[in-house]
Structure 1
Amino acid sequence: MATHLIRIVMNGVTGRMGYRQHLVRSILAIRDAGGVELPSGDRLQVEPILVGRNAEKLEELARRHDVAEWTTDLDAALADDSATVYFDAQVTSRRKDAILKAMAAGKHIYTEKPIAESVADGQEMVDAAAAAGVINGVVHDKLYLPGLMKLKRLIDSGFFGDILSVRGEFGYWVFEGDLLPAQRPSWNYRAEDGGGMVLDMFCHWNYVLENLFGAVEAVTARAVTHIPTRWDEQGREYRATADDAAYAIFELEGGVIAQVNSSWAVRVDRGELVEFQVDGTRGSAVAGLFGCRIQPSVSTPKPVWNPDLPTEEDFRAQWEQIPDNTEFGNGFRAQWEQFLADVHAGRPHPYDFAAGVRGLQLVEAGLRSSQERRTVDLAEVAAPAPEPVRTPEPVA
């Protein structure tokens, strides 16, 4: 059996997500496991080339993780013909130009989202990818999470009957940075640097809703900045110019209504940092990142509203946890393995730039809805039509 080497230019890996999820838990984990095993028995081994603006940080990461190559010169890295894949985890405002440059160099592209700051910029990237003939993929990590994969199995089995509604709760308290350091980078709260809850999370909600329940057709949203003053990594006070919370109602094809609250100014009283409750005529489920609890129609309790007496029922105890009856790996790594297999096979990746643009379409519709205080049909924001996608599955 043969081993095929794929060299990857990785830009932005000194950041939190680029480092933890993409470099350490995905690419280095694949490398240390001997590569991705294909159905044929062949393996795809990976070799990262670290790129960024801070030479000191890059040198330290390379030394710590036994990575042979790093550089602050993106052009030089892209000129290396032996590197066939470019990955981008930079701040959003830097992403489009770097990806266009990488495609011009003939690299296949895998990128974090949002892929750009506007639908128009995203469509420019779609067109450039088509012209260059490169395989392109956008991170859709939540589809590969155990909780949502269990939820997908429930949907495919017909467990819910007719799905009526989806209610999502996402977020946690991000410290302002004065008394305790913030656990998210300060640029996330500056609109001029590409920050904002709607821009960040509506791209996620679009692909989750689209692939599980149906395409979003209209949105009613309110984006707000709850915490107007924050402190950056150097302890300097700054004004938050980006929204840190968004409250939205999404109307999906087929009549399903989804309500999703997203906030970095909320204290958590739920099992996981994100949870989706799905209610159907034959059953309901609550799915998080890892767990998924169900309550079928035949075991649904019959509560009676009585404000004069305390509630004695333990409603949460009346739900059944779906067991981990299959092995679930890291969601970021699972999609990386699928993307690398697609590159090796020369086939399109299902979650491509066009999917990323549809996420941006929801972003722009959501922001317009908030600004104009009305429901916005997604048809008002130009974007490519959805393409059929395949369900995530193990490579081997």
Structure 2
Amino acid sequence: MEDSLLVSLRSYQPRPDRDPLEDFVTEAFAWTLRAHPPIGSQFLSEIDRRADLPKGSVGEDGWEWDTQVDVGEGRADMLAIGDHRTYVFEHKVGQTAKAKQVDRYRRSLTADEVVTVLIMDAKWNYEGPQSADVEDPDLRLTWAEVSKILGDKSDELETADRIDDFRALLDHEGLGPRKPLGEPDLRAVPRYKETIDHLTKLMKEVRLQKEEWESVYDLLDDPSGQSQPKKRWSGTPPRYGRIALRLYQDYNPNINFGLIIDPENIRTTLVDRNLGPDLAVFLHVPYGALPRGQYNELVNSQAYEDLRKRLAENSRAEWTAFAPKGTDPGINKHHPLVLQRPLAHVLRGTQSVEDQRAEVLDALKEGVELFLKGREMEKLREKMLRYREENQ
């Protein structure tokens, strides 16, 4: 049976003295190397090269990868076992790495030759030998270096999806490679708050153009009589990476719109990160207040599918659509459908604040009307109301 990632991640038993993230990374790493034997062998060859060691020999079955191995003087995070050589790995995530811990593992193993490898989040977070009888590891690596090695070695694979998944895990946990800070980035920090303040004022002015929103409410009115957009959140923006307004009351399938500064929370990407924030219009589902059955019924309905397809078909026009199926496991259940376009494109050529306000208002109205013109939003609202009546 093919080695399963889920089985690998289930195989370790969390212990009070252990960081579960460290064990999680270890199991995912070992599985990645087992799943791609050529990459596992090349990774070990890279260790040999960096440690100035002769290449280790391996039998017909390849290297045997094992994790959480009791070696007498402790529990080694990972072993790679060959014919005459064993590589013993100690992994650290956020904790100080100590030479004496790896040295104990080396002394405990009975292989003809033992190579010790320490992988940590930062090379400065290391305590070297404190006595003459303790040796440094044969090689010290950072997780960022591991990520780069795997990326370089995977170029020859037909598909590198599994390796990319592990590297994405490292990035997500702040362990992957990152670029050094540059002077332009540092100089931009004081300007950031000023820019956010201007963007917030822009959205406030867009919201207050009450008469401009009449055509939108003609397409789909608000049950409570609301006739102009409201602020999505109070407090200092950007909340959840957005400066947002809402069109209708929150207890209905709603349309939110405004600016996306950081797309991570909403689970999209900026159309062009080099251009900065995106104007965005997005479906809001009151997921937290809904019974699971009602949410599932909503996103699996024909109305949702019709809306999703129509927005996706528009994706090559002015707006870029992020429109996954309702059953997509990576979907943002609060905001499953999003239309985006770079704010910089909308403001290009404007000469005044007034011009900018007018262009942004027109663009957002266009996006909102695109959401509404197929009448799917009305059907989603009716579906939710029927569900509530039937389950009261």
TM bucket normalised to smaller: under 0.3
More strand by share: 1
Higher helix fraction: Structure 1 or Structure 2? 2
Please give the TM-score of this superposition, normalised by the length of structure 1: 0.27
Asked which structure has the greater RCO (Cα within 8 Å, sep 6+), the reply is 1
Larger Cα-atom Rg: 2
